[in-house]
């Protein structure tokens, strides 16, 4: 009977250890996923800023062309 209790205790400890290892691995994987999501979010934000700057440049060029055309029409 004592052997059975000892074996059950050992199995319980091993099972607990395995569960802790699984939780630890899952936590590490979750951290990696969170880091990747943050990196993608930063990349998207950078791309949005680049697009915004490009649109502003294009709008400025269109404005200049419109003024040029207006000047030509007035002449």
Higher-confidence residue of 59 and 73: namely 59
To which residue do tokens 């009977």 refer? 1
Prediction pTM value: 0.60
Summarize pLDDT for 7-59 with one digit per residue, the tens. 778 778 877 887 777 888 888 899 999 999 999 999 999 999 999 999 999 99
The pLDDT of residue 49: 96
Q: Is the pLDDT of residue 3 over 80?
A: no
On the CB side of 32, how many CA atoms lie within 13 Å of its CA? 6
Q: Is the pLDDT of residue 6 over 80?
A: no
């Amino acid at each position: 009977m004592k052997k059975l209790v000892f074996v059950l205790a050992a199995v319980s400890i091993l099972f607990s250890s395995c569960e802790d290892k699984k939780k630890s691995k899952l936590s590490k994987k979750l951290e990696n996923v969170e880091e990747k999501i943050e990196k993608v979010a930063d990349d998207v934000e950078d791309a949005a800023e680049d697009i915004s700057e490009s649109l502003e440049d294009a709008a400025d060029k269109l404005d200049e062309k419109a003024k040029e055309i207006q000047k030509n029409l007035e002449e």
